[in-house]
Structure 1
């Protein structure tokens, strides 16, 4: 059985693509979702670091305290959290 394709590639692409306005709105939505997810991840990591710092203080582990404090400072400098 032979399939015939009467449409050009450009016609096919025009039919299958999202209109320009909707495409740009989707892109903005994707950017917004990415920003929200990054914010959640940064805040979660900050909570983990604060917990690790507190545990290091409780156990008087200076090396762990310095390591986690340094990472927290870098996170705060980089992301302004």
Structure 2
């Protein structure tokens, strides 16, 4: 996630009976997670197309570049 969400801030919002504030924060967190996932999926699709093109063109350097980026993207997603 690009943004840092404090669990303490969330508990403060809930504890102060500010349900609207807690809901807004939770909605923002879910929206951020959703957008990050969509961006990652889109980049994976782009990389797969680029990898296929590099294989078709027998461009070993480009293949390794895109494959490495895809591998890093998968590692970051699994953390």
TM-score of the alignment, normalized to the shorter chain, above 0.5: yes
Listed as ranges, the gaps of 5+ residues in structure 1 are: 1-18
TM-score, structure 2 as length reference: 0.76
Q: Say what the alpha-carbon RMSD is for the aligned residues.
A: 1.0
Match of 1:46 in 2: 44
Structure exhibiting the larger radius of gyration computed from Cα positions: 1
After TM superposition, which residue ranges in structure 1, 4 or more long, deviate above 4 angstroms?
none
Aligned length: 62
Could you give the per-residue CA deviations for residues 28-72 of structure 1, whole angstroms, max 9, x where no partner exists? 000000000000000000000000000000000000000000000
Listed as ranges, the gaps of 5+ residues in structure 2 are: 1-16
